[in-house]
Amino acid sequence: MPNALLYQFPIPMSKYYVFFTRNILPQPNVASLVQVAHSANAAANLGLPAVLVYLRKGWNAFNPVDLLFPFQPRKPDDKLAKIYNLQDQLKVVDLPMPCPIDLFDSKWTSSSTIVSKYYLPIHLQKSTKIVHTRDWNFVKAAIKNGIPAIYEQHHHESKKFEPEIVCNPLFQISVTVADTVRNSMIENGMPPEKVIMLHNGFNQLFLARQTADSQIWRQKLLGDGRENLAVYAGGLYPFKGVDMLVDVAKELPGVQFAIAGGDPSQVTAYQQLAKHKQVNNIKFLGYLPQNQLASLLQAADVLVHPHCLTEAATFTSPLKFFDYMASGTPIVATEIPSLLEFQSGNIAATWCEPDNPQQFAESIQASLIKYPRKVEGYAETRDFVKQFSWENRIERILSYVDEEVRSIGS
């Protein structure tokens, strides 16, 4: 019987580049998980034996065989692949978390403890060359089990970094997306030479032209004599400027606005806000999987990025801004600190001050005149953004990793 089990559930012999998130996938509206999935996908596209490891909870986590043989890398299922635009090269593993894991506020029933004390040392260690994660507890567990680690932190956090971890030779590098976050990490104990700033990236599939699907979007969304389409894609939150867009749409009754993103409750709330303000040229499409979003961005005459001047504006590296550029569609964006460097980039973009709906509306009008829609997109923008592919980002991160560790797969 043991031999039969071994043949049915073989222990992988390869050494993997493990991307770990202590979350259930997919969660379509969570930008941090999109970033994790795209990073893992990019590593696989580079020919590395990458595996995206996440959690599985609920009744389907009670399979005792899965508990005994949890690390079985496989291709992503269709749902996961479509939501995150994953290619076939990437492998995934979902670690089962049966009840009462995470139901009670206890160290011994937390998923972090189960991963660190059971899955990592017993099942992942022998098959892992390096881990890459935004989970600090997982980084600490990896180092303590002799596994090299890459850590990502994209927001300001108050935790102090333990010297025995960050000064350990196994701790390869930490990555953030803003200099302000890098500075706060250093203040909290991260050695300056162990933290770099790199922007987020875009999925290569956004570069592929989707002319037919884009035309279908225009036929679906344009009407009532309107010829121009303005699109926003992202979270439905006031600080991202979505409230302001309702006011902007009212200023431009001849332009059709389409808003992609948000959960059903957020969509309903903004539909009611638009109705209350008597704005009838704005449509809230809800969440769209990435494979549909690319054609919507290419369908627009202008893409809007109305982020307000908040604390988040000092460190955000918005995923959608890079997707916007990859589409080649003209962009109207607010001059928030984290995007100022792109003002000098060779892109078809119009910039205006934040929190000013009147000026934002005027900027949209100016963009429609200066940058008329091109079916093929603006080549200069598409060329500029290529440096920010997820694949390039992974290569730059790995350039900071020890040469011996970079020989992943052996």
HEC assignment per residue over the chain: CHHHHHHHCCCCCCCEEEEEEEEECCCCCCHHHHHHHHHHHHHHHCCCCEEEEEEEECHHHCCHHHHHCCCCCECCCHHHHHHHCCCCCCEEEEEEECCCCCCCCCHHHCHHHHHHHHHHHHHHHHHEEEEEECCHHHHHHHHHCCCCEEEECCCCCCCCCCHHHHCCCCEEEEEECCHHHHHHHHHCCCCHHHEEECCCCECHHHHCCCHHHHHHHHHHHCCCCCCEEEEEECCCCHHHCHHHHHHHHHHCCCEEEEEECCCHHHHHHHHHHHHHCCCCCEEEEECCCHHHHHHHHHHCCEEEECCCCCHHHHCCCCHHHHHHHHHCCCEEEECCHHHHHHHHCCCCEEEECCCCHHHHHHHHHHHHHHCCCCCCCCHHHHHHHHHHEHHHHHHHHHCCCCHHHHCCCC
Structure tokens at 216: 């279908």
Structure tokens at 203: 């999925």
Is pLDDT of 108 > 70? no
pLDDT digits (tens, 9 = 90+) for 175-205: 999 899 999 999 999 999 999 999 999 988 8
Residue 102 dihedral angles phi and psi, to the nearest 5°: 70, 5
Is pLDDT of 1 > 50? no
| 175 beta partners | 152, 196
Spatial strand order in the sheet of 228-233: 282-286, 255-260, 228-233, 302-305, 331-334, 349-352
Segment 306-329 shows an average pLDDT of: 87
- Residue 107, pLDDT score: 58
DSSP character at residue 168: S
- Residue 282, pLDDT score: 98
Q: What is the CATH number of domain 2-201+389-406?
A: 3.40.50.2000
| 257 beta partners | 230, 282
Segment 42-61 shows an average pLDDT of: 88
Residue % of the chain over a pLDDT of 70: 92
Q: Do domains 2-201+389-406 and 204-387 have the same CATH topology?
A: yes
Question: Using 50, 70 and 90 to split pLDDT, how confident is the model at 123?
Answer: very high
Residue spans of alpha helices (H) in 233-356: 242-251, 264-276, 290-299, 319-327
For residue 4, give every residue at least 6 positions away whose Cβ sits within 8 Å of its Cβ, in sequence order, or none: none
Segment 232-253 shows an average pLDDT of: 96
**pLDDT, averaged across the chain:** 90
Q: Can you state the percent helix, strand and coil of the chain, rounding each to 5? A: 45, 20, 35
- Residue 259, pLDDT score: 98
- Residue 13, pLDDT score: 43
Nearest-5° angle of CA 95, CA 89, CA 93?
5
- Residue 353, pLDDT score: 96
8-12, 151-155, 204-208, 266-270, range with the lowest pLDDT = 8-12
More confidently predicted of 251 and 204: 251
38-47, 56-65, 108-117, range with the lowest pLDDT = 56-65
Instruction: Give dist(CA 28, CA 293) in Å, integer.
Output: 12
Cα distances (Å, whole numbers) of residue 340 to 35, 191, 312, 351: 22, 27, 14, 9
51-60, 143-152, 287-296, range with the lowest pLDDT = 51-60
Is pLDDT of 66 > 80? no
Its pTM stands at 0.88
- Residue 88, pLDDT score: 87
- Residue 10, pLDDT score: 39
Structure tokens at 62: 């009670």
Name the residue ranges covered by the structural domains of the chain: 2-201+389-406, 204-387
Question: Using 50, 70 and 90 to split pLDDT, how confident is the model at 2?
Answer: very low
- Residue 373, pLDDT score: 97
Segment 154-180 shows an average pLDDT of: 95
- Residue 59, pLDDT score: 59
Question: Using 50, 70 and 90 to split pLDDT, how confident is the model at 69?
Answer: confident
**In this structure, which topology does domain 204-387 adopt according to CATH?**
Rossmann fold (3.40.50)
- Residue 4, pLDDT score: 33
Residue % of the chain over a pLDDT of 90: 74
